[in-house]
């Protein structure tokens, strides 16, 4: 037994999430004292019965000096974001307006023949579906206005920069541009060789990650809320999230998971990358841990059109989730995918050997599989705009090929698109009968 006195944050129980406790422990160790003024980025969950008076009092306490700031609302999860010192966190943890306090963790991006192999090319040839009229929001590092997205018309219909506040579309990292091309590049500069799965879909770029490909949970949540707010204006039907962070909490408490789930319930199909921490089990990241949204794993197609030699990519994160749910929900090609290059980006300078034909770059990861899946969903929604997110998920899983050694199989665009065309909601089926 030990007589060591426990520090205040070790006695806080569920009031503080494990990530924040670790940050407070690290902060105390560095300063070697109980009290210090180093700010920590946090997310404060408000109690459900919190009235405006209690909320105002909390803000007054938190903003009493220049070392602390709380105020940016994250309404989709009934929370507020800010930067507080350990002393102030200690002061407010038992405030009557506070439910829990989370560390605003770092979120990172998850770093050819894919469209033909998934069946997307056949869908265009036989069904005439290209994703036209469907908008995919790519929440990532931005989108460079590559010719494959702007010729013959600019399909980047909106751009929102949460990092630097720029108004014109750009991508200083390059990851988001590659993802945009995976979903909706039309192969303009490659004579159709490097084409995405939905080559006529519209795109929205939301820059929530910086030049190094990282950002905070709260910024990603702001991007999700922007999509919800502008859903009708831009016909946003799909959100593609090729990013994530380690999952320490149940999806019921995790801020990013809850925000993604809110978008799903608002009628937007949310696709999230499983993560690149495989082959170890139980490595699904957040928000991919959420049971509602579509979690996408990555395959390695061995650079052949045949599916028989395809395997789950070694790097692709495996389930179960932290809540012991089966994930991923679907697999798509994600290895050695050639897509759009953002000139002058960090990826171009870091990976010059991966640049192809000056205008494209080859990357691997569940990041690539996710927008490929999003593009196929755009084909399904073009075929049947009345499909709900739950309909989409059900069709994708039921039409996937059980060729992989996992519970769910390999995405199959043609079967999914054909089922989407003929799919009736339960109420419609009853009316027809």
- The domain that holds 17 is classified in CATH as 3.30.70.80
- How distant, in Å, are the alpha carbons of 100, 166, 394 from that of 188? 50, 27, 33
In the β-sheet with 106-109, what is the strand arrangement from edge to edge? 214-216, 106-109, 243-244
The answer on 231 and 141 residing in a single domain is yes
Residue 197 within a domain: yes
pLDDT at residue 49, as a whole number:
85
Domain CATH number, residue 124: 3.40.50.200
| pLDDT, tens digit, 9 for 90 and up, residues 94-113 | 999 999 999 999 998 876 44
- Considering the candidates 144, 146, 175, 178, report the single residue annotated as catalytic: 175
Same domain, 55 and 127: no
| pLDDT of 369 strictly over 60 | yes
pLDDT score of 426: 54
- pLDDT mean over 298-307: 75
Cα gap 179→416, rounded to integer Å: 21
Q: Which of 17, 367, 391, 400 is catalytic?
A: 367
Domain that holds residue 207: 108-421
Domain-located, residue 430: no
Per-residue pLDDT band for 25 (boundaries 50, 70, 90) equals confident
314 is catalytic: no
Is 401 known to be catalytic? no
Mean pLDDT of 65-77: 91
Do the domain assignments include residue 282?
yes
Residues 69 and 197 in one domain: no
Please tell me the predicted confidence (pLDDT) of residue 433: 43
Final residue belonging to a domain, choices 89, 104, 119: 104
Q: What is the per-residue pLDDT for 428?
A: 53
Claim to verify: residue 60 and residue 165 sit in the same structural domain: no
pLDDT score of 430 more than 70: no
Average of per-residue pLDDT across 143-157: 98
- Looking at 104, 137, 171, the residue that finishes a domain is 104
* Mean pLDDT in residue range 397-419: 84
pLDDT one-digit tens code per residue, 342-366: 999 999 999 999 999 999 999 999 9
17 and 126 within one domain: no
- For residue 151, pLDDT beyond 90: yes
Q: Answer yes or no: is 350 within a domain.
A: yes
Tell me whether residue 431 is in a domain.
Answer: no
Q: Which residues pair with 203 in a beta bridge?
A: 136, 156
Instruction: Mark whether 93 and 212 lie in a shared domain.
Output: no
Domain final residue, candidates 82, 104, 126: 104
* 137 in the same domain as 99: no
- Does one domain contain both 163 and 278? yes
The number of domains in the chain is: 2
Q: How far apart are CA 84 and CA 154, in angstroms?
A: 43
Q: Quick one: pLDDT band at residue 30, thresholds 50, 70, 90?
A: low
The pLDDT tens digits of the residues spanning 255-296 come to: 999 999 999 999 999 999 999 998 999 999 999 999 999 999
Whether 202 is catalytic is no
170-199 pLDDT, tens digit each: 999 999 999 999 999 999 999 999 999 999
- Annotate the chain with three-state secondary structure: CCCCCCCHHHHCHHHECHHHHHHHHHHHHHHCCCCCCCCEEEEEEECCCCCHHHHHHHHHHHCCCCCCEEEEEEHHHCEEEEEECHHHHHHHCCCCCEEEEEECCEEEECCCCHHHHHCHHHHHHHHCCCCCCCEEEEEECCCCCCHHHHCCCCCEEEEEECCCCCCCCCCCCCHHHHHHHHHHCECHHHCCCCECCCCCCEEEEEECCCCCCEEEHHHHHHHHHHHHHCHHHHCEEEEEECEEECCCCCCCCCHHHHHHHHHHHCCCEEEEECCCCCCCCCCCCECCCCCCCEEEEEEECCCCCCCCCCEECCCCCCCCCCCCCCCCCEEEECCCEEEECCCCCHHHHHCHHHEECCCEEEECCHHHHHHHHHHHHHHHHHHCCCCCHHHHHHHHHHHCECCCCCCCCECCHHHHHHHHHCCCCHHHHHHHC
Considering the domain architecture, whether residues 227 and 366 belong to the same structural domain is answered as yes
End-to-end CA distance of the chain: 71
Task: Report if residue 432 sits inside a domain.
Answer: no
Evaluate if residue 58 carries a pLDDT over 90. yes
Query: Do both 21 and 116 map to the same domain?
Result: no
**pTM (2 decimals)?**
0.91
Could you give the percent of the chain with pLDDT greater than 70? Answer: 91
pLDDT at 33 over 60: no
| Cβ neighbours around 346 below 10 Å, total | 18
User: Is the same domain home to 114 and 98?
Assistant: no
Q: Looking at residue 66, what is its pLDDT?
A: 85
In this structure, are 244 and 364 located in the same domain? yes
Q: For residue 2, is it within any domain?
A: no
Catalytic residue among 17, 104, 112, 140: 140
For residue 272, is it within any domain? yes
Please say whether the beta carbons of 240 and 138 come within 8 A. Answer: yes
């Amino acid at each position: 037994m030990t007589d060591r006195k426990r520090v205040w944050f070790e006695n806080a129980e569920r009031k503080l999430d494990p990530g924040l406790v670790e940050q407070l422990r690290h902060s105390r160790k560095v300063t070697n004292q109980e009290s210090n003024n180093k700010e920590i980025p946090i997310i404060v969950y408000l109690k459900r019965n919190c009235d405006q008076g209690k909320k105002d009092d909390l803000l007054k306490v938190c903003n009493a000096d220049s070392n602390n700031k709380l105020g940016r609302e994250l309404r989709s999860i009934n929370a507020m974001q800010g930067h507080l010192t350990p002393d102030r966190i200690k002061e407010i943890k038992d405030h009557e307006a506070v439910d829990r306090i989370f560390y605003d963790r770092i979120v990172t991006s998850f770093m050819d023949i894919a469209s033909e192999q998934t069946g997307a090319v056949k869908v265009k040839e036989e069904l005439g579906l290209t994703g036209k009229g469907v908008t995919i929001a790519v929440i990532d590092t931005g989108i460079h206005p590559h010719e494959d997205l702007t010729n013959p018309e600019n399909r980047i219909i909106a751009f929102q920069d949460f990092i630097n506040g720029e108004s014109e579309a750009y991508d200083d990292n390059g990851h988001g541009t590659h993802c945009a091309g995976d979903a909706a590049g039309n192969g303009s500069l490659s004579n159709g060789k490097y084409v995405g799965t939905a080559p006529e879909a519209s795109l929205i770029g939301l820059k929530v990650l910086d030049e190094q490909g990282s950002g905070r949970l709260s910024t990603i949540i702001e991007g999700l809320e922007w999509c919800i707010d502008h859903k009708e204006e831009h016909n946003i039907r799909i959100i593609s999230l090729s990013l994530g962070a380690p999952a320490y909490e149940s999806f019921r408490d995790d801020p990013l998971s809850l925000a993604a789930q809110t978008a799903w319930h608002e009628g937007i199909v949310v696709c999230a990358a499983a993560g690149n921490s495989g082959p170890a089990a139980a490595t699904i990241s957040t928000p991919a841990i959420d049971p509602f949204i579509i979690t996408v794993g990555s395959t390695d197609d061995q650079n052949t059109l045949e599916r028989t030699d395809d395997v789950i990519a070694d790097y692709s994160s495996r389930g179960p989730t932290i809540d012991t749910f089966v994930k991923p929900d679907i697999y798509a090609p994600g290895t050695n995918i050639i897509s759009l290059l953002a000139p002058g980006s960090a990826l171009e300078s870091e990976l010059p050997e991966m640049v192809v034909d000056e205008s494209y770059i080859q990357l691997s990861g569940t990041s690539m599989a996710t927008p490929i899946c999003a593009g196929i969903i755009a084909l399904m929604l073009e075929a049947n705009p009345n499909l709900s997110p739950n309909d989409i998920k059900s069709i994708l899983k039921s039409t996937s090929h059980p060729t992989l050694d996992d519970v769910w199989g390999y995405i199959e665009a043609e079967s999914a698109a054909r089922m989407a065309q003929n799919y009736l909601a339960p109420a419609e089926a009853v009316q027809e009968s």
